[in-house]
Chain A
Amino acid sequence: MTVSTLSMPASQTRARHRRRIAWVPTIILFIGALYCLLPLYWLVAASSKLPGELFTLPSFVPGFSGGIVDNVVALSNYRSGRYWLWTFNSFLYAGGGAALSTIVSAAAGYGLAKYNFAGKNIVFAFLLGAVLIPGVVLAVPQYLLMSKVGLAGTYWAVLIPSIVSPLGIYLCRIYAAAVIHDELLEAGRVDGASEVRIFFSIGLAPMIPGLITVFLLQFVGIWNNFLLPFLMLSDERLFPLTVGLYTMLNAGTEQPGMYTFIITGAFLSILPLVALFLLLQRYWRLDLISGSVKG
């Protein structure tokens, strides 16, 4: 790595920094960025090709014969528009699940951070301990219990297990403790507001940046989940995109003609998340996770 400028006040070094570029770190980071982006670019290029072009055109050259249109049409015709139903379902599971999860986590985090009560530490340890039980291990018994109560194979079977997020609760607790001032809550109490009202009108507002992070984490987690819907659902009309595309791949491996529109399906399926991600990327407060909250 490059040698730094020695013994200079921060302001002066900063002025110097602007002129000289640290080439080695820049190049390494750029290679890392290429490693992450090139496969996605390949996906875009492959989506634009006609089935025949996939095997003949060079990989990174997009097809210009209207392949993308053909692929989207083929994808939309696949089992009379199943793909768009799956997209809708993914939004339903991820949006609904993340919203419910954020509300439950916010309330729990607030409760743990702002009240002293008997059993508080037990509740916290219990919720954190739940992180240690791998979700994958729970999926099978969750399925069995869901079938016992008659919910397996319904939207609820995927939604309900997605609501509790130990990580979300943990983050909300840290965040509530850091940003909500006790004096404000006391002021609310003196004014005679109920505890629930205090939470909604005083506690919630400062927590919003943290809650956006919790929402995003849960949204991505549920959107990306495969095993839970894979186990819970048998009716393909209820599938989210992950499970739907997997079944398409399973059906299509013997037919190279299906490759291009499966690839197009994969490409279109990541667009909403990538868009959400880029739009909201300044709201990601992952410093919460690394435990260095700065109000």
Chain B
Amino acid sequence: MTATNTSTKKRFRAVHPFVPWLFVGPAVLLSIATIVAPFIYAVIMSLRGVKVAGGGLGRREEVFVGFANYINAAFNAELWTGFGRMLIVGVITIPITLGLALLFALLLDTPRVRLARFSRIAIFLPYAVPGVIASLMWGFIYLPGVSPIRELAASLGLAQPDFFTRDSIFWSIANINIWGGVGFNMVILYTALRGISSELYDAARVDGCTELQIAWNIKLPLLLPAIVLTALFSLIGTIQLFSEPTTLSPLTDALSSTWVPMMLVYRDTFVAQNLYGGAATSMLVAVLTIAASVLLFWITRRRSAGGLA
């Protein structure tokens, strides 16, 4: 710092090269400690395993096993059925969440809408509810004997829906994610909409465009980057699916302990105490997340480039 004091006398561009690191340093060091180091550690663990060396007493020692854990993980049918289930939940959740978020954002941005402020806050509110608490709450709303939805169906003389069958559980979990996710995405899209200059709309209105045409032809294309961003968040959220099925599992038999990949990682690592296998499986999940994110960016970039050409 003394260096900067002398150098500032020469006025601009004379900041000591160490100074920026003073600001960036803590973030970099903490990232290394909490992100890079665990990641590298997981890679190393995933390539190692335990061998029982020696005779009768069998001293256990850690050895390099190459890709053995990955091969085991890749041939584990539970992992792939878990991915399949995750995919189903994602295929239900992401389009509905983003579709509703987009619909609500566009409606909020429409002139002459009443109760807009109330609706915006109400729809954003579930974002403040932790996934575990939301699952707990919905778990009771689904639970036979307590469920208000079943009660309503009964009073209308309809068949009572069962939210905990092997098939319906996908929708039950997707609904929790949608309920918690629509508001956050809506607010991102809505604020992006507010950023668009209203002169564009006035011009379109003068040209005789309806609000629907304005939404479709002006707002939607300009929203594309924000939509990609929300899609990315939703995608990463889906791959990390863990707390909802874990919280619901005490309430139903439809959820196994390896229902989604992260539950398998948890069981391998902490219940079965197989740290190496757990690390390999979580690396596969990481690779998938990164690949999916890159793919999404690549597709949307191509799309928008094609649109311009």
Contacts and interface: CB of A to CB of B under 8 A. Distances in A.
Interface of A: 1-8, 10, 13-14, 17-18, 20-22, 25-26, 28-30, 32-33, 35-37, 39-40, 42-43, 46, 54-55, 58-60, 104-105, 107-108, 110-112, 115, 117-118, 120, 123, 126-127, 130, 132-138, 140-142, 144-145, 160-161, 163-164, 166, 169, 186, 189-190, 192, 194-196, 199, 220, 223-227, 231, 241-243, 245-246, 249-250, 253, 256, 259, 262-263, 266, 269-270, 273-274, 276-278, 281, 284, 286-287, 289-292, 294
A96 to B, nearest CB: 14
Interface in B263-283: 265-266, 269-270, 275, 278-279, 282-283
Interface string B136-150: 111111000111100
B22 A59 contact: no
B211 A223 contact: no
B113 A22 contact: yes
B130 A199 contact: no
B195 interface: yes
B262 interface: yes
Nearest to B206: A7
Given A130-B31, A242-B133, A4 B210 contact: yes
A26 B290 contact: no
Contact of B140 (A18, A40, A46, A194): A46
Contacts of A256: 145
B107 A29 contact: yes
A164 B35 CA distance: 9
B59 interface: no
Most chain B CB within 10 A, of A126, A161, A195, is at A195
Contacts, number: 337
Contact of B31 (A32, A36, A127): A127
Most buried by A among B4, B27, B115, B126: B27
A189 B11 contact: yes
A82 B128 CA distance: 23
Given A32-B119, A141-B279, A160-B33, 10 more contacts: A29-B107, A33-B118, A35-B179, A40-B126, A137-B39, A226-B247, A231-B270, A256-B145, A266-B133, A270-B129
Contacts of B188: 286, 289-290
A224 B188 CA distance: 19
Q: Residue among B138, B189, B243, B290 with the most chain A CB within 10 A?
A: B243
A278 B118 CA distance: 11
B161 to A, nearest CB: 14
A226 B5 CA distance: 47
A17 B179 contact: no
Contact of B127 (A22, A118, A220, A259): A220
Contacts of B11: 186, 189-190
B202 interface: yes
A290 B189 contact: yes
A14 B223 CA distance: 24
A223 B133 CA distance: 11
B34 A163 contact: yes
B63 interface: no
A160 B31 CA distance: 10
B252 to A, nearest CB: 10
Contact of B195 (A120, A243, A292): A292
A10 B140 CA distance: 50
B32 to A, nearest CB: 9
Contact of A117 (B21, B151, B270): B21
A104 B26 contact: yes
Nearest to B186: A32
Nearest to B251: A253
Nearest to A149: B33
Contacts of A58: 151
24 contacts: A7-B205, A14-B111, A29-B108, A32-B119, A104-B30, A108-B27, A115-B19, A117-B17, A123-B24, A130-B35, A134-B239, A140-B266, A140-B278, A163-B30, A186-B11, A224-B131, A249-B136, A259-B146, A266-B133, A270-B128, A276-B128, A286-B188, A290-B188, A290-B195
Given A142-B38, A253-B250, A136 B240 contact: yes
Contacts of B275: 144
A43 B183 CA distance: 19
A166 to B, nearest CB: 8
Contacts of A36: 122-123, 125-126, 179, 182-183
B174 interface: no
Interface in B1-56: 1, 4-5, 8-9, 11-12, 15, 17, 19-24, 26-28, 30-31, 33-39, 41-42, 45
